[in-house]
Structure 1
Amino acid sequence: MTATTYSAVWDLDVFFNGGSNSPEFQAHLAETNEKLNSFKESVKNWKGTTTEEHIVILIDLLKQFQTVTKAVRQEGAFVSCLEAQNMADKKANELRSRVTGLSASFQSILTDFDERLISFSEEDWQTILKDERLAELSFVLSERRNRANEKLSKEEEKLINSLSVDGYHSWGQMYDLIVGSIHIPFKDEDGEKLLSVGQASNKFSSSDRQVRKNVFENWEASWGEKAELLSKTLNHLAGFRLNVYKQRGWEDTLKESLDMNRMSRKTLETMWEVISDYKQPLVEYMKRKAELLGVEKLSWYDLDAPIGNSETKLSYQEGAEFILEHFAQFGEEKTKFAKMAFEDRWIEAEDRAGKRPGGFHTYFPESGQSRIFMTYSGTPSNISTLAHELGHGFHTYAMRDLHTLNRNYAMNVAETASTFAEMILADASVKNAKTKEEKVALLEDKVQRSVALLMNIHSRFLFETKFYEERKSGMVSTERLNELMLQAQKEAYADGLEEYHPLFWASKLHFYLTGVPFYNFPYTFGYLFSLGIYSKAIEEGKGYEDKYIALLKDTASMTVEDLAKKHLNVDLTKRDFWEAAVKLCVKDVEDFLELTK
């Protein structure tokens, strides 16, 4: 029997035929606009005299809410895919503006909707929530009501939404345009060429240090040429956000992010405290890696370097089969989902010029399908990224039967499913290693991930919190951004590197995302939280998959503290859970040091 051959290019025509010139997509945008107008009228005409009448109206409005949400997200997902697969697609950039406009209109209508939610007395509100037709949505509806209570008047919030289209969100889109114009010079046996930032970033996992060093120098120079533009972009994004916070009376710049992550500040602080207390083993790992690479101290461009001279490369087909084989050891549902993603061309992984850097997962709710984007060149890191994004996909797949409003999980728990998928692969790979050299390389790849999530992400968090504090007093210069980044990296890496990446603030997309502020700590939370879940899965074997799916289904309808208490019986505000999780990372370091001594 011949195995299925998996395509490395995704299928977008199944949604809207014709790409950015699709007439179907234009028609969909027009239909969405009509749905928005209808929803707007329904919210505007919400009138009731009895609690029962209000319940009936609310049920109907929630159906419309669900329909419009699906339509807007379908369009947003499609445009994200168009922009990512070809950064030179100017038509896709125009479509992004249309979708952003519809999304802003939707948010304005929701401001009116939320205003109605806060108009009820607490007694009437509790009566509404007790109705069995609304019981499943009690958490998300109360969350909307509470958040609305903390915002400005509906007129002011609607004004913010409308101004954000050509202000806030446009600055976010500016980043994409700037990145699209960046090309990194690279020379190999085929001669001089220009790489996209996505292609160039893959070179940092080359076994040849000179290649990594040269790419890094050109990388810094290329980003440096655009630094002033990027500095202005970042400053305006932060300025808009801070002004909104100021008007709402929010002094804490992390308030919005913590609320979005359904997470307390105490949990966040406890997590970072524990990580900071356990940095030394990671520093010891970096020292050992430097010895193995024959250098006195690692530089930024050595962090992803493989140990030894041989690079393990797997074709896309081999990588897919590798993932499916190891997912199967965990559970049938996860394997079934991944197989469907490969067979139905849900993944764009081709290594070609013109693509956006990085990787992402997006969901098309009207079609019930996911799409995954990355640039695959066969490295262990690429396979890890692919598993990571499939983890995101499985999360949405696990929640497919829930009400749309109960599927809006936060960033931190979103990263739980993705890092969990990575760990299945990493652990299985280490255990199945055929030689000591292979085991060392795979274990090192695993420790690399801990360095990325406990040090790199920490540096992003330290940089961003300090930058926002300084931005409150005015524009922060390019030179100062470099200084802040350098300070943050030195602290986060415990002075463990020889050379750092001061322009990281310019090259990292996450600092420029307008939909999600402070998209840094959720990665670390997700990593350590998933370690806790993973240890349970190891204990219980294949039988744990049902419990895992039950946990994923709850991720959008309770706080992370309640989620952890219900499914893991732990208190996230205490050190115990975080120490146990970090110690699993430390154990990998100890194994690595023992194997390489």
Structure 2
Amino acid sequence: MTQTLSQNWDLDTFFPGGSDSQAFQDYLTKLKEDLERLNIRVKDMFAPTASDQLAGFSALIHEVQDTAVRLREASAFTSCLTAQDMKDNKATLLSGTVKSLRATYATILTNIERILTEIPEDLWLELVRHPEFEAISFYLGERRQAAREKLSPDMEALVSDLSVDGYHGWGELYNTTVGNMAIPYEDNGETKHLSVGQAQNKLSDPDKTVRDTMFEKWEKAWSAHADFCSDALNHLSGFRLSLYKNRGWHDVHKEPLDYNRMSGQTLQAMWKAIDDHKSYLLSYFERKAQLLGVEKLDWNDVSAPIGNVSKAVSYDEAADFIIKHFETFSPKMASFTKKVFEESWIEAEDRPGKRPGGFCTSFPDSKQTRIFMTYSGSASNVATLAHELGHAYHQHVMNDLPPMAQQYAMNVAETASTFAELIVADASIKEAQNKDEKIALLDNKIQRSVAFFMNIHARFIFETAFYEERKRGLVPVSRLNELMVQAQKEAYKDALGSYHPHLWASKLHFYLTQVPFYNFPYTFGFLFSAGVYLKAMEEGQDFENRYIALLQDTASMTVEQLAHKHLDADLTSTAFWESAIQLVLQDVNEFLTLTNE
């Protein structure tokens, strides 16, 4: 089939010239000047104490929001540059400049928080009802409460400044190291050197020999870099723990829970419901082992394809399929998705030098998004593409809200993406051409459930245990390997024949500096979106506008409030999570029935 859609994104729309863009340099210069001026202004500003002073405060908040939008634009651009070519040293330098600007903005926010805490209670109640502030009252209240739990504004500003070269520097160094890694691979007698992203794709190859060979090289490569990764992980966590100690925070889950606007009770209810139903996945493991002709699945067999896997899906075919099935649920989402493909908002080319994984980032000043992935034609690639398009649509429906009402957390961000993925996965299964293809697609879908219920649970268990040990001192490589294998055995109910000791080194999410525990939000989003999906199946296109309303509220309330308002559900109870898990159990039962012969 003729390829008509570009697999390279268009970044020149924002700033022509890539990392050499003079327009971007000018944008950064103006942004830096505005940030410095705003920083001086808010540092010496007093809180409003009367109603007639709210107009001045409103003007300040508008200026802060405008600056935040431009900072997000700059950050998105450098993220795209470094992802598309991890050896682009100029892009890395630009990324460092943007991180420095973000530190200045963090100082501004700290002073905004100080101002918010100084507002008298009676005026505060008036402010949150004021038309100028109503849409962002939740965000302002959140910042006000956060300020009361932190250090003094001067100390928090110092933390932000020091974190650029200390805390964030470790994350950047990890990315640079991974970008320079090359893993050897024999292909028809020729030795190729694969990027981490390319090598990762080989770990799910249909041929077990290829999987086993690549997994051995994969472990060896990460073992060779383990000392450095251990340093990075220990220092990132050490920074956080020192900050927590000085703030008087004793629970390592406090920051990620606050960031995700969810309670510990909700997190516990979710994990309990999952743990209570893992036995169904063990039945799937046993059947899959039989089909693969092995006694017990190894780590690198879990994501191995089953059934008719020879069919590759071209990029154009994937685009048509996704748009078609988005249309059955939401014509608005389908129309938006068509625009994304046609206007080259996606970087999907399979080539060396790209960073591993996939992401969607927003350019709020331009009201656009960009999607990054490596597309090689697998069913998993199609699912990833749908996933990232869900992220893009989420931001799209938020574009006209005030910037402070767009700051949704990663758990609800994963809701829109996983919802889109579910639509496409189910459609793929229903349209399977034969039994073998249906089995293959079901297997692929169940693999993602395994990832959310077990792989991510293992990461959560590991990270929790690691932080407790890190409080007592540095954790060496050997112990990190032990903690990871222990976590994997617990999460997978000791059902595998081998494990991945260096997952703590190879998983980028442990080295992200936005927030720790960048794991459970994916599982939350998966199951929460399943709850949304159940509603959508009941109501069809009648649910479209309700879905948009739900997405638009994701930055304006806690997840418990969001579920109560739009789904009439209680997230602190296992009942909601168990109903969502039934979708997974249906897939497992169908897989077992189809493969019974």
CA 1:3–1:215: 2 relative to 1, 3 Å: closer
Match of 2:476 in 1: 477
CA 1:297–1:64: 2 relative to 1, 3 Å: same
Match of 1:250 in 2: 249
Count of matched residue pairs: 596
Match of 1:594 in 2: 593
> In 2, Cα distance between the equivalents of 1:63 and 1:352?
42
Match of 1:263 in 2: 262
CA 1:48–1:590: 2 relative to 1, 3 Å: closer
Query: Aligned partner of 1:463: which letter?
Result: F
The answer to whether the Cα contact below 8 Å between 2:389 and 2:420 also exists between their aligned partners in 1 is yes
CA 1:65–1:447: 2 relative to 1, 3 Å: same
Q: Which moved more, 1:579-588 or 1:354-363?
A: 579-588
> In 2, Cα distance between the equivalents of 1:369 and 1:564?
28
Query: Aligned partner of 1:187: which letter?
Result: E
Query: Aligned partner of 1:28: which letter?
Result: Y
Query: Aligned partner of 1:164: which letter?
Result: S
The answer to whether the Cα contact below 8 Å between 1:51 and 1:128 also exists between their aligned partners in 2 is no
Match of 1:562 in 2: 561
Matches within 5 A, 1:179-578: 179-189=178-188, 191-308=190-307, 310-578=309-577
Q: Which moved more, 1:122-131 or 1:340-349?
A: 122-131
Q: Which runs of 5+ in 1 are unaligned?
A: none
Secondary structure at 1:538's aligned position in 2?
A: helix
Is 2:169 aligned against 1:170? Answer: yes
With the length of structure 2 as denominator, give the TM-score of the two structures. Answer: 0.98
Query: Aligned partner of 2:510: which letter?
Result: F
Q: Which moved more, 1:29-38 or 1:363-372?
A: 29-38
CA 1:392–1:49: 2 relative to 1, 3 Å: closer
Alpha-carbon shift at residue 308 of structure 1 (Å): 3.1
Secondary structure at 2:76's aligned position in 1?
A: helix
Secondary structure at 2:184's aligned position in 1?
A: strand
Is 2:52 aligned against 1:53? Answer: yes
Matches within 5 A, 1:135-150: 135-150=134-149
Alpha-carbon shift at residue 401 of structure 1 (Å): 1.1
Secondary structure at 2:193's aligned position in 1?
A: strand
> In 2, Cα distance between the equivalents of 1:48 and 1:230?
45
Secondary structure at 2:173's aligned position in 1?
A: helix
Query: Aligned partner of 2:125: which letter?
Result: Q
CA 1:368–1:4: 2 relative to 1, 3 Å: farther
> In 1, Cα distance between the equivalents of 2:318 and 2:301?
24
> In 2, Cα distance between the equivalents of 1:497 and 1:54?
64
> In 1, Cα distance between the equivalents of 2:107 and 2:49?
27
Q: Which runs of 5+ in 2 are unaligned?
A: none
Query: Aligned partner of 2:23: which letter?
Result: E
Secondary structure at 2:243's aligned position in 1?
A: helix
Query: Aligned partner of 1:153: which letter?
Result: S
The answer to whether the Cα contact below 8 Å between 2:197 and 2:357 also exists between their aligned partners in 1 is yes
After superposition, the C-alpha distances for 1:283-337 in whole angstroms (9 at most, x for unaligned) are 1101101100111111111111111364221111111112112111111111111
Q: Which moved more, 1:190-199 or 1:349-358?
A: 190-199
Query: Aligned partner of 2:344: which letter?
Result: R
Alpha-carbon shift at residue 447 of structure 1 (Å): 0.8
Secondary structure at 1:362's aligned position in 2?
A: strand
The answer to whether the Cα contact below 8 Å between 1:47 and 1:54 also exists between their aligned partners in 2 is no
Secondary structure at 2:329's aligned position in 1?
A: coil
> In 1, Cα distance between the equivalents of 2:47 and 2:200?
58
> In 2, Cα distance between the equivalents of 1:385 and 1:547?
25
Matches within 5 A, 1:3-82: 5-47=4-46, 50-82=49-81
Alpha-carbon shift at residue 49 of structure 1 (Å): 6.6
The answer to whether the Cα contact below 8 Å between 1:420 and 1:534 also exists between their aligned partners in 2 is yes
Alpha-carbon shift at residue 6 of structure 1 (Å): 0.9
Match of 2:157 in 1: 158
Secondary structure at 1:115's aligned position in 2?
A: helix
The answer to whether the Cα contact below 8 Å between 1:330 and 1:542 also exists between their aligned partners in 2 is yes
Query: Aligned partner of 2:247: which letter?
Result: R
Secondary structure at 1:185's aligned position in 2?
A: strand
Secondary structure at 1:205's aligned position in 2?
A: coil
Query: Aligned partner of 1:64: which letter?
Result: E
Query: Aligned partner of 1:94: which letter?
Result: L
Secondary structure at 1:133's aligned position in 2?
A: coil
Query: Aligned partner of 1:473: which letter?
Result: R
Secondary structure at 2:375's aligned position in 1?
A: coil
Secondary structure at 2:203's aligned position in 1?
A: helix
> In 2, Cα distance between the equivalents of 1:384 and 1:188?
27
> In 2, Cα distance between the equivalents of 1:47 and 1:424?
51
Alpha-carbon shift at residue 165 of structure 1 (Å): 0.5
Note the aligned Cα RMSD (angstroms).
Answer: 1.3
After superposition, the C-alpha distances for 1:380-405 in whole angstroms (9 at most, x for unaligned) are 01111111001000000011111110
The answer to whether the Cα contact below 8 Å between 1:412 and 1:522 also exists between their aligned partners in 2 is yes
Secondary structure at 2:421's aligned position in 1?
A: helix
The answer to whether the Cα contact below 8 Å between 1:9 and 1:349 also exists between their aligned partners in 2 is yes
Alpha-carbon shift at residue 430 of structure 1 (Å): 1.1
> In 2, Cα distance between the equivalents of 1:135 and 1:308?
54
